[in-house]
Structure 1
Amino acid sequence: MSENPIIFDSQTRSLGGTEQNWCKAVAGGTGITALALQVSKEPNIPLFKKSLQKIQNDHPSLNSVLHKNASNGSPSFIINPPIPSIRLNIMTMSKTSELLRTLMSRGSNNSLSPLHLILEHELNINEWSDITGRSLCMGGLPLWFANAYTLPDRKWVLVLRLHAGICDRTTAVSFLKELKEAMGEKEGGYKEKGNMGIEELIPSGKTKKTLWSHGKDMMAYSLNSLRLTNLKFKDVKSPRHSEVVRLKMNTQETHMLLTGCKLRGIKLCGVLAAAILLAAYSSKRHSSNNHGKKYGVIFLNDCRSYLQPSLSIHEFGFYHSAILTSHEVKGDEILWNLATMIYMAFVNSKNNNKHFSDMADLNFLMSKAIDNPSLTPSSSLRTSLVSIFEDPVIETSSDAERELGLDDYIGCASAHGVGPSIAIFDTVRDGQLDCACVYPAPLHSREQMQELIANMKFNLLESFKMEEKLET
Structure 2
Amino acid sequence: MGDHTPTSQTRLLGGTEQNWCKAVAGGTGITALALQVSKQPNVALFKKALQKLQNDHPVLNYMLNKNNSTSFNINPPISHDLPLNIINQLKTSELLRTLMSNGSNASLSPLHVILEHELNINEWCDHVASVGGLQLWFANVYTLPDKKWVLVLRLHAGICDRTTAVSLLKELKEAMGEGGGGGYKEKGNVGIEELIPVGKTKKTIWAHGLDMVAYSVNSFTLTNLKFKDAKSARRSEVVRLKMSTQETHMLLTGCKLRGIKLCGALVAATLLAAYSSKRRPRNNHRKKYGVVFLNDCRAYLQPSLSTHEFGFYHSAISTSHEVKGEETLWDLATKIYKTFENSKNNNKHFSDMTDLNFLMSKAIENPSLTPSSSLRTSLVSAFEDPIIEHSSDTERELGLDDYIGCASAHGIGPSVGLFDTIRDGQLDCACVYPAPLHSREQMEELIAKMKVILIESFKMNVKA
TM range (shorter): over 0.9
1:179 lines up with 2:172 in the alignment:
yes
Deviations, residues 89-144 of structure 1 (Å, cap 9, x unaligned): 0000000000000000013100000000000000000000001x1x1x32200000
C-alpha contact 1:10 1:81 (8 A) present in aligned 2: no
1:75: which partner in 2? Answer: 72
1:230: which partner in 2? Answer: 224
C-alpha contact 2:284 2:326 (8 A) present in aligned 1: no
1:303 lines up with 2:297 in the alignment:
yes
CA distance in 1, matches of 2:20, 2:208: 21
CA distance in 2, matches of 1:451, 1:120: 19
C-alpha contact 1:64 1:85 (8 A) present in aligned 2: no
C-alpha contact 2:59 2:77 (8 A) present in aligned 1: no
1:112: which partner in 2? Answer: 108
Deviations, residues 25-71 of structure 1 (Å, cap 9, x unaligned): 000000000000000000000100110010011101101110111x2
1:154: which partner in 2? Answer: 147
1:128 lines up with 2:121 in the alignment:
no
2:4: which partner in 1? Answer: none
Gaps in structure 1 of 5+ consecutive residues: 1-8
C-alpha contact 2:288 2:321 (8 A) present in aligned 1: yes
**Match for 1:58: what amino acid?**
D
Match of 2:88 among 70, 82, 92: 92
1:219 lines up with 2:216 in the alignment:
no
For the aligned residue pairs, the C-alpha RMSD in angstroms reads 1.4
1:4: which partner in 2? Answer: none
1:405 positional shift: 0.3
C-alpha contact 2:252 2:262 (8 A) present in aligned 1: yes
1:86 positional shift: 1.6
1:22: which partner in 2? Answer: 20
1:289 positional shift: 9.1
CA distance in 1, matches of 2:59, 2:118: 21
Query: How do 1:351-370 residues align onto structure 2 when only pairs under 5 Å count?
Result: 351-370=345-364
2:39: which partner in 1? Answer: 41
CA distance in 2, matches of 1:242, 1:353: 32
Matched position secondary structure for 1:129: coil
CA distance in 1, matches of 2:409, 2:274: 18
CA distance in 2, matches of 1:351, 1:192: 30
Higher mean C-alpha deviation, range 277-286 or range 378-387:
277-286
Deviation beyond 3 Å, 4+ runs, structure 1: 287-290
Deviations, residues 185-221 of structure 1 (Å, cap 9, x unaligned): 4231000000100000000000010000000000000
1:63: which partner in 2? Answer: 61
CA distance in 2, matches of 1:340, 1:310: 29
Match of 1:189 among 183, 189, 192: 183
2:408: which partner in 1? Answer: 414
C-alpha contact 2:294 2:316 (8 A) present in aligned 1: yes
Match of 1:165 among 158, 161, 174: 158
Q: TM-score, normalised by structure 2?
A: 0.97
Deviations, residues 358-389 of structure 1 (Å, cap 9, x unaligned): 00000000000000000000000000000000
1:88 positional shift: 1.2
1:467 positional shift: 3.6
1:10 positional shift: 8.7
1:465 positional shift: 2.5
1:466 positional shift: 3.8
CA distance in 2, matches of 1:163, 1:26: 7
Deviations, residues 271-316 of structure 1 (Å, cap 9, x unaligned): 0000010000000142679610000110000000000000000000
Matched position secondary structure for 1:323: strand
CA distance in 2, matches of 1:103, 1:466: 43
**Match for 1:19: what amino acid?**
E
1:277: which partner in 2? Answer: 271
Higher mean C-alpha deviation, range 85-94 or range 223-232:
85-94
Q: How many residues align?
A: 457
1:103 lines up with 2:99 in the alignment:
yes
Between the aligned residues of both structures, percent identity stands at 79
1:78 positional shift: 1.2
Matched position secondary structure for 1:61: helix
Matched position secondary structure for 1:383: strand
1:459 positional shift: 0.2
CA distance in 1, matches of 2:309, 2:11: 16
